[in-house]
């Protein structure tokens, strides 16, 4: 069975709208939760892909993100094993950092609806979002190195998605977010939220059918571009029986 690993950084941010997409394709998934004190670790030989999820703080904020180097090592391990890596929001910045990107604390919040346009005509993900409204949600900024190719940008020319080699994508827009997840962010104790969170929630509700369609398109594009339906060889797991 195909199985994905997702790194969860906050209680309110999980695979969300993507979970039914995976279940419909007979893909299992499991979480490692840094938000619950778990180490950002996993064995590529036990999973078919790695997903790095959102966060409430910039990746450059080492005080709130002490696990950053662990995640960078995890990204590199998956890529070395030729397993796909997909970063969403904060996760895109982690993926970019694993490829040498410079990370910045500002802006505190980058939360908005943006009009996406393709920068690479033959890229499946770029085609999937070209001309569509997408929900961007991240903190801080990543300055991409030359080796990372932006494939989609917003109306101001700022990158919304990049491709890292053959096996990885970083997305500032968030196909997994549902209106209820945005509401849960507001309720999450001690979490900083953007000033326009109310507008984002209302906008997500009003555009939900369109956002769902975009999620469908993005999922299909990632499946095609990264061969996510191909099951990778996994090492067997042995149960250790104590000898008496």
Which of 160, 64, 152 minimizes the C-alpha distance to 112? 160
Residue 89 has what pLDDT? 98
Select from 156, 154, 151 the least CA-distant residue to 170: 151
pLDDT of residue 235: 57
Q: Give tens-digit pLDDT for 133-143.
A: 999 999 999 99
pLDDT in tens, 54-86: 999 999 999 999 999 999 999 999 999 999 999
Fold entry, domain 2-226: Rossmann fold (3.40.50)
Q: Enumerate the domain spans of the chain.
A: 2-226
pLDDT at 237: 46
- Beta strand pairing status for 27-33 and 2-8? parallel
For residue 239, what pLDDT is reported? 47
- Asked if residues 101 and 143 have their Cβ atoms less than 8 Å apart, the reply is yes
Q: What share of the chain is helix, strand, coil (3-state, %, to 5)?
A: 30, 25, 45
pLDDT digit string (tens) for 168-219?
Answer: 999 999 999 999 999 999 999 999 999 999 999 999 999 999 999 999 999 9
Model pLDDT for residues 1-43, shown as the tens digit of each residue: 789 999 999 999 999 999 999 999 999 999 999 998 888 877 8
pLDDT confidence of residue 104: 98
Confidence band for 234, pLDDT divided at 50, 70 and 90? low
pLDDT score for 244: 47
Query: What pTM was computed for the model?
Result: 0.93
pLDDT score recorded for residue 236: 54
What residue spans of the chain are helical by DSSP H? 18-24, 68-80, 90-98, 124-129, 179-187, 197-206, 208-226
Q: Pick from 229, 204, 226: which is nearest to 215 by CA?
A: 204
pLDDT in the model for residue 75: 97
What pLDDT is recorded for position 42?
A: 75
Give the pLDDT score at 38: 87
């Amino acid at each position: 069975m195909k199985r994905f690993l997702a790194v969860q950084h906050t209680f309110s941010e999980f695979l969300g709208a993507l979970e039914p997409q995976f279940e419909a394709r007979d893909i299992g998934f499991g979480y490692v939760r840094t938000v619950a004190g778990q180490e950002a670790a996993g064995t590529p030989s036990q999973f078919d892909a790695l997903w790095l999820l959102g966060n409430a703080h910039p990746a450059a904020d080492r005080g709130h993100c002490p696990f950053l180097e662990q995640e960078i090592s995890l990204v590199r391990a998956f890529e070395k094993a030729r397993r796909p890596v997909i970063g969403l929001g904060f996760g895109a910045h982690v993926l970019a950092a694993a490829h040498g990107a410079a990370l910045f604390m500002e802006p505190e919040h980058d939360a908005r609806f943006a009009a996406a346009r393709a920068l690479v005509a033959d890229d499946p993900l770029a085609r999937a979002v070209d001309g569509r409204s997408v929900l961007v949600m991240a903190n801080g900024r990543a300055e991409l190195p030359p080796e990372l190719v932006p494939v989609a940008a917003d109306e101001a020319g700022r990158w919304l998605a990049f491709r890292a080699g053959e096996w990885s994508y970083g997305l500032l827009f968030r196909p997994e977010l549902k209106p209820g997840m945005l509401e849960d962010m507001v309720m999450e104790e001690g979490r900083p939220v953007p000033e326009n969170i109310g507008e984002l929630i209302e906008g997500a509700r009003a555009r939900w059918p369109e956002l769902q369609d975009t999620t469908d398109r993005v999922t299909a594009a990632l499946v095609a571009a990264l061969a996510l339906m191909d099951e990778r060889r996994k090492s067997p797991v042995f149960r250790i029986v104590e000898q008496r």
